[in-house]
Structure 1
Amino acid sequence: MESAGPAGQQSQAARQGAAVELLEAVRGELSAVSLPLALPGAEAARLDIRQALAQLDDYILPRYRSLDAPLLAVVGGSTGAGKSTLVNGLVGHAVTRAGAIRPTTRQPILLHHPGDAAWFEDQRVLPNLSRIRGTVVAAPLPANQAGPTPDGAAITSLVLAADPAVPAGIALLDAPDVDSISDDNRRLAGQLLAAADLWVFVTTANRYADAVPWRLLLDAASRDIMVAVVLDRVPQAAEEEVSADLRSMLGREGLGSARLFVIPEVALDAMGMLPAVAVAPLRNWLRELAADAAGRAAIARRTLNGTVKALGGRVGAVAEAVRAQHRAAELLGSDASNAYEEAVGRILDATKDGALLRGEVLARWQDFVGTGEFFRVMEQNIGRLRDRMGAFFRGEPTPAVRVETAIETGLQAVILDEAANAAEEADQRWRSDPAGRQLLGTDDLSGTSEGFSDAVAAEIRAWQGSLMELIRTEGQGKRSQARWLSFGINGLGAALMIVVFSMTAGLTGLEIGVAGGAAVVGQRVLEAVFGEDAVRRLAKTAREDLQARCRRLLRAESRRFLDRLDASGAVPPAALAEQAEALGKLAGTA
């Protein structure tokens, strides 16, 4: 056992501080978790997060910070079970509302000894409920008239009532019905029970097997919380049979250690009070707990251990849910990225296999070099070729520009077509996945974005401009300057573009001879001006530049999908898994 001396107190304080630090870190991580994707189990995980945060705020952190605070005993149970009547009987006079109209307990009332007021007047426990100082009235209370009666809105306050009849060291909280017809009442009842050090659970002889109360009792069993079950309004003839059956049920569900108190079916007095003898066993048990400081501490630690252990399980489940979200986000992201990356590959293939040298591009190139000169040019030496082609370039700059325009038009059509194919593929992949469908909603992303065609045209013109600049830079040497000036910058640029698109793997028959021959003409012209190595280098640089521009275009287009993932906030888990493990260890030392 921990030493009670200064060293032992310091050690305990250090452990307590470390525990609070861990719990606050867990709270921070849970608060930052986002589960935006529509995955199986996501809604359950969101509920786990809400409940874990509420329990951290309402019970775990307050109890760790104040291990010596009075016990909070929450009196809960089914509609009409007699909770308020029981609380009145425990203190010996009417302090809470009891009546025939349901729900009866509309405002939670916390009864405490006057000496314990400081523990409950601040926001130490249940910090999201404001405090209302109530007054104990030792007189008959007409049904449904006691204390403040809130309107139909959600309850946001807690009535505090100091009463010397409540023993110091323990407080009683009269909670709303756990199966109330009011959603707000049910939620509040669950919140209050989760903030309790021990439960006084009230049921009746004809409702003790109801499903709703048992769901809560099983939650108590999972937290190892101390439970006292009050079996109310039991006919004398059925007391032994009903008590035995309820004890058997408690044992089967892991609540065999729960205390069972039986209140017989008796008439209330003129003040609506139970006979003192009917509640004496429960009142005496509570007084004994309040008087035993070590016993109270053991109860608090037992409940704290069980609650922290349950929290660790919840945090672990949330960590797995976050991992599932991250995996789903990565899959959706890769689906979109791969669709566009595959489109980039198809575009690059089209720029290498000679496909762009068909149709209009080939026709404009033939116009440019002169169809009648074509085969004769192929038979001349390099010098004669340069002279003949120079005449074409010097005298007819317009056909060179037409070649550039035809290339721009053809390349733009290829990029737009493949971008549309990528968009359709990514849209189909996302719509086949529930998370993807949720992110897309009613938006149709199966085509290219507005303005993409203009962006493609601008990028192609920029590529052509950079290609011209390559030629200028390469031709700055004194030996080649005169020659490239004689051919003209547009003519050499058109020739270089033809060389870039000159591979003939995609052509057949006559196309191979015609397009291939056209490419050879372009290459010979360039070699005559710059030399073979320089032409190879220029073509490689131009092709790599075009590939980079195509990738940038389609990656920017893929952001229509990827930005939705980024906005969803589906991020990988940080420390949740490690914190779940740490909570498991803490549960054994609380």
Structure 2
Amino acid sequence: MVTATSMVTRSTRSSRSTVDSTVYDIVADVRRDVAALTFPLDTSTAADARHQQALLLAQLDDHLLPRLAQLSRPAVIVVAGSTGAGKSTLVNSLVGRDVTRASVIRPTTTTPVLVLHPDDERLMVGSALLTEAEVTFSEDVPRGLAILDAPDLDSVRDDNRTQAIRLLESADLWLFVTTAQRYGDALPWKTLTSAAERGTSVALIVNRVPEDTTTEIYQDVAARLADHKMDATPIFMMKDHSPHTGPLPASDVKEVTGWLATLAGADHARTVIVRTLRGALDALPPRLNTLATAVEDQAASHAALNESARDALVDVVESARKHAATGQYARGRLTAAWGQTAAAARFDKLINRSGYARVLRSNPTPPEALRQLKDTAITAAHELASDTIVTARRALAQLAHDDDAATIIDVAHHPVRTGHIATAVDTWVARIGDDLAPILADHSKQSLASERAVTRDGLVTITLYAALGVPQAGELLERLIGFEAAPLAEITAVRLADTLDKLILDEYTYVTHTLDALGLDEDTATRLHLRAAELAQLRG
């Protein structure tokens, strides 16, 4: 079993100041797995998971991995707090001179300031803090410690708040500054609770305390800390010097500087480091399990979206087939177009008394009239297919209205299918000619007369209208080709429904491809749970 104490022992004995490679390797694996996580679906846990992922990566990159690799670096004390709490004045007072800007203008600290003892500079080589902060040196900073003045946690600037939270993740110790007027606000306790959950060492400074309320405020703060199970947290009460410019009198920060002195030096600083390191490692398993739960939510939402999209489009398919079966496609202009053209071309005179078709000299002739009708039917079929896709996409868009996670299914990005529709309809029409060929191949008197009177292409048009539900077309087709008319019209109607099915299936396929492209791996949550178990066992 590897413990933080044994880590320190090995680190102390080794000139390289490194820790047990097993611990480092597992945490490095955790970092790789956490960095690879994605939460593309807006589930109820996604926003918090993305936030927690960013915080955990910050802690792993800025604190845990560097600390595990190098325990000899100075302990980083992040001075944090609310706007105007006096953080910068405190840092200046601790080192005895102005090293960071303090002012009544808020927010004052926009760039973090890192204060080091000059002899510790070489130990910080490779630290990300050297690139993120303005670095200054002071011999008044005890060796083995680095003091970081962070931006305000409640800054009006988003980038300041984000940076402040990230810097806290890199801390070995949080020195949280609040005031006698604001220590009861939600922010201090939210921040302190977060530190406790992460296992970070914390000290609390209450600034600008009136002398006559010092005891009362101290007792109240101590009670609140005890309620948060943080009763071991050091508390420092600072006198009220408002208004004030420049560093505070040395006597006012004597307790804090004395406390920092007890932390200074390689061995003492390492104690603080290891205490926070142990707490951070202990906090990793529950944080990983929380992320794993969010990943499981993503997988469940992925499956639910697939199922919801399928169910929505099944309803569209069933509606299209119902229309095909009941002839609802023909309602409106197709029936009207047939009636007008049939009257003009005298379709009622096509069949003679013997029951065979005859050639008419009407104006237009039946073949001419049928060519016009064919264009109308094909246009209607194109529109029907287009409307079916619109209906399908509306059904998918409704999912996004009902479920935030479904916004990933953005129908506005679905491909334009105009050419695809034209090809599908043309293929459907061409199949009618193929189906007519064997019927007309018997060269019976009936088939020869019909083909001569209306042409083969005319028979295709009549079949089109029969399949689309124009009853007069079905009756004429039966008189022209006999008992095979009804099966031909029926199979043509079924093929139209199949064509629409295929177009709807293409929409569903695009949805599944969109969801699959998110790269949600079902095994990811399992890996995170396993990493958490590994760490728990290692720390146990």
- Of 103, 115, 121, which residue of structure 2 is paired with 1:117? 121
Equivalent in the alignment of 1:465:
430
Instruction: Report the AA paired with residue 20 of structure 2.
Output: Q
2:28 to 11, 20, 23: 20
Amino acid at match of 2:380: A
Q: Distance in 1 between matches of 2:19 and 2:280?
A: 22
Residues 427 and 550 of structure 1: CA distance in aligned 2, closer, same or farther (over 3 Å): closer
1:327-342 counterparts in 2 under 5 A?
329-330=305-306, 333-334=309-310, 337-338=313-314, 340-342=316-318
The count of aligned residue pairs is 521
Indicate the residue corresponding to 2:482 in structure 1: 524
- Does the Cα contact within 8 Å between 1:484 and 1:492 map onto a contact in 2? no
Alignment TM-score, normalising by the size of structure 1? 0.69
Superposed, which structure 2 residues align to 1:180-329 within 5 Å?
180-264=155-239, 272-275=248-251, 277-287=254-264, 291=268, 293=270, 296-306=273-283, 308-309=284-285, 311-312=287-288, 315-316=291-292, 318-319=294-295, 322-323=298-299, 326=302, 329=305
Q: Residue type of the partner of 1:104?
A: T
Q: In 2, distance between residues paired with 1:353 and 1:338?
A: 19
Distance in 2 between residues matched to 1:186 and 1:68, nearest whole Å: 29
Secondary structure at the residue paired with 2:99? Answer: coil
The Cα offsets for residues 394-424 of structure 1, whole Å up to 9 and x where unpaired, read as 9999624633642552464366368547736
Give 5+ residue unaligned stretches, structure 1. Answer: 132-156, 379-387, 528-534
Distance 1:482 1:297, change over 3 A: farther
* 212-221 or 405-414, which deviates more: 405-414
In structure 2, what is the Cα distance between the partners aligned to 1:67 and 1:108?
Answer: 23
Kept in 2: contact 1:266–1:274 (CA 8 A): no
- Residue 279 of structure 1: how far off its partner (Å): 2.9
CA-to-partner distance for each residue in 1:169-196, whole Å, 9 max, x for gaps?
4322111233345444333322211221
Distance 1:323 1:243 in 2: 49
Superposition RMSD in Å: 5.2
Distance between the aligned counterparts of 1:161 and 1:111, measured in 2? Answer: 5
Distance 1:118 1:325, change over 3 A: farther
Which residue does 1:345 correspond to in 2?
Answer: 321
Task: Tell me the TM-score normalised to structure 2 length.
Answer: 0.74
Return the letter of the residue paired with 1:24.
Answer: R
2:370 to 403, 422, 425: 403
Q: 1:51 to 1:292 in 2, by over 3 A?
A: closer
Partner of 1:385: none
Q: Aligned-pair distance for 1:103?
A: 3.2
- What is the rounded CA distance, in whole Å, between the counterparts of 2:97 and 2:346 in structure 1? 111
Q: How much has 1:227 moved relative to structure 2?
A: 0.8
Q: SS at 2:106's partner residue?
A: coil
CA, structure 1 residues 523+63, in 2 after alignment: closer, same or farther (shift >3 Å)? farther
Q: Is the 8 A contact 2:119 2:143 kept in 1?
A: yes
Taking a change above 3 Å as real, the CA distance of residues 272 and 68 of structure 1, as seen in their structure-2 partners, is: closer
Other structure's SS at 2:206 match = strand
**How far has the Cα of 1:251 moved from its partner?**
1.1
Report the counterpart of residue 584 of structure 1 in structure 2: 532
Q: Deviations over 1:272-327 (max 9, x none)?
A: 44226343442233227853645532332213432x24642552464366357646
Deviation at residue 359 of structure 1 after TM alignment: 5.2
Task: Give the Cα separation in 2 of the matches to 1:82 and 1:455.
Answer: 68
8 A contact 2:388–2:500 mirrored in 1: no
Deviations 1:423-450 (A, max 9, x none): 368548846854689999xx999xxx99
Distance change in 2, residues 1:193/1:475 (3 Å): same
Query: Partner residue of 1:383?
Result: none
The code of the aligned residue for 1:299 comes to T
Letter in 1 for 2:390: A
Asked if the contact 1:205/1:233 (under 8 Å) is kept, the reply is yes
CA pair 177-580 structure 1, distance change in 2 beyond 3 A: same
Q: Aligned with 1:72: secondary structure?
A: strand
Tell me the amino acid that sits aligned with residue 279 of structure 1: V
Q: Partner of 1:110: helix, strand, or coil?
A: strand
- Structure 2 unpaired stretches of 5+: none
Change in CA separation of 1:283 and 1:47 when aligned onto 2, cut-off 3 Å: closer
Shift of 1:226: 1.3
